[in-house]
Amino acid sequence: MTRALYQGLVWLHPPAFRAEFGGEMQWIFDQIFDEGSAGGLAALFADAVVSLLRQWIIRYGTWKIAAAFIGGILHMWLVFACLMLRPPLPRILEPAEEPCGTAVLGCVALDKEYRIPCSSCETSPNSIPESQR
Amino acid sequence: MPEDLGSFLPLSAANLYILFSLAAEDRHGYGIMQEVTRQSSGQYKLGPGTLYDNLQKLMNRGMVEDAPRRSADDDPRRRYYRLTEFGRRILAAEVARLEDLVREAKSHLRAPNPRRAT
């Protein structure tokens, strides 16, 4: 069982590394296993796990794939956050009740109002009261 | 082979111990691990993963190479490694660097009145 577990850890190493050193790693495990040192076996397993991470992440550049994946997720999150936080588009706050039918538009985020004259006011701008221009 | 030895120095502890263990004779991986433990009086222990990661680097840099098997009865999984001439020069350069460091450290420790920052 212990041997099979270590064999599995060795097998998980990158193929090139495994082909070159996997057999000898297993042989060393067998030697230490035969000596019957529990501390030695624990150290072997810890070393194999560290080696596994080191080989895949550092030596074989898998960190670049991981960095690209994390970068993609961050990018998507930023786009989503920007969409959520952007100022809302102007919308009609109230129906036009002005005598000339001027529509009142507002932007809540910018705290501004925009008055748009109705079509009849556009044709004769003088009909809009001075206070509403 | 690059001759600018300074670019390979200082060696990491693992590399130094591996080269040092191969200086006297060719060894297999387990032999290197045992020799490193002996040289460091048990204070530094190499696991197989660390050993072969460093051995791979040393072989790629031309400091260590494969050595022939000693006998046909050897376990076929067991490989022997030897120090190359270039590896021996690197090891000598590192030992010289460490000697300079130790000499300077001793001279500073012997100084009666160490200078203090003002």
Tell me the count of A-B CB pairs closer than 8 A: 61
Separation in Å, CA of A73 to nearest CA in chain B: 32
Q: Do B52 and A21 touch (CB under 8 A)?
A: yes
Put the strands of the sheet holding B80-83 in their side by side order.
B27-28, B80-83, B64-67
**DSSP 8-state assignment for residue A12:** T
Domain boundaries, chain A: 2-63, 91-128
Q: How far apart are the C-alpha atoms of A110 and A90, rounded to whole Å? A: 9
Model confidence over A18-52: pLDDT tens digits? Answer: 999 999 999 999 988 888 777 788 889 999 999 99
Q: Is the pLDDT of residue B55 over 90?
A: yes
- Whether residue A28 and residue B55 make contact (CB cut-off 8 A), yes or no, is no
On whether the pTM is more than 0.90, the answer is no
Residues shown for chain B: 118
Among the ranges given (A11-25, A92-106, B11-25, B30-44), the one the predictor scored with the smallest mean pLDDT: A92-106
Q: Do A25 and B48 touch (CB under 8 A)?
A: yes
pLDDT at A11 over 90: yes
Residues 61-120 of chain A whose Cβ lies under 8 A from any Cβ of chain B: none
- Asked if A53 contacts B104 with a C-beta cutoff of 8 angstroms, the reply is no
Cβ <8 Å between A24 and B47: no
Mean pLDDT calculated for residue range B14-21: 94
Question: Which domains does chain B carry?
Answer: 7-110 (1.10.10.10)
How confident is residue B1, by pLDDT bands cut at 50, 70 and 90? Answer: very low
Q: Which residues from A are below 8 Å from B30, CB to CB?
A: 27-28, 31
pLDDT band at A113 (very low <50, low <70, confident <90, very high): low
**ipTM of the complex in this document:** 0.77
Question: DSSP states of B25-55 as a string?
Answer: S-EEHHHHHHHHHHHTTTS----HHHHHHHH
Cβ partners under 8 Å of residue A21, min gap 6 = B29, B48, B52, B55, B56
Rounded Cα gap, residues A95 and A112, in angstroms: 16
Partner B contacted by A121 (CB < 8 A): no
Determine contact, residues A17/B56, Cβ cutoff 8 Å. Answer: yes
